[in-house]
Amino acid sequence: MQPIRILFSSISGNTRSFVKKLTDYAHEEHIINSAAPLIEGFEISDLTNFTDETDPFFVCVPTYLSGGNGIDNGVKELMTNTLGEYITYHNNAQLVQGIIGSGNRNFNEQYILTARRYAHATKTAVVADYELRGTNQDVERIYNILITLTK
């Protein structure tokens, strides 16, 4: 089975840490059972050269917003814009398998709002969410979701 690919951005390191835990967990599962798919993470930052993706991928995006009423009025994406531009670059959106949102529930209605906006922009769905760095249970839960969606 091909590795499951995840494109992500991380400003303060939480998403990077989560994707690392996910790839490590997948590696352990793969050692126990070679049919369990590996995970590859690819960080998208302001330094990334935009390219035409050729293989399907999931997107893992944290939430940084300013302004608005928390739903649809005037809210502005900050920090993660390059990832949003990358996944809608040329035909890349056609290869998006789903969006994983991360954030902090203290933001109430704005919780994982960037992920929900990306799902809308790529005509896909938010397939999973977690807070901050994610727990070990989040890692296991989300790995199983990704496996199910790529079967």
Ligand X SMILES: Cc1cc2nc3c(=O)[nH]c(=O)nc-3n(C[C@H](O)[C@H](O)[C@H](O)COP(=O)(O)O)c2cc1C
Q: Which is nearer to ligand X, 15 or 92 (CB)?
A: 15
The CB-of-80 to ligand X minimum distance in angstroms stands at: 8
User: Which residue number, 61 or 96, has a Cβ lying nearer to ligand X?
Assistant: 61
Whose Cβ is closer to ligand X: residue 98's or residue 103's?
A: 103
In the complex, the residues that contact ligand X under the rule CB under 6 A are 10-15, 62-65, 102-104, 107, 110-113, 132
Nearest partner of 135 among 8, 46, 25, judged by Cα: 25
Residue type at 86? Y
Nearest to ligand X of 85, 109 (CB atom):
109
104: which 2 tokens? 């902090």
> Minimum CB separation from ligand X for residue 135, in Å?
13
CB-based contact 47:9 (threshold 8 Å): no
Q: How far is the CB of 29 from ligand X (least distance, A)?
A: 24
- Asked whether the beta carbons of 112 and 118 are under 8 A apart, the reply is no
Helix-then-strand count for the chain, H and E = 4, 7
The enclosing H or E element of 84 equals: helix 81-87
From the CB of 90, what's the least distance to ligand X, in Å? 26
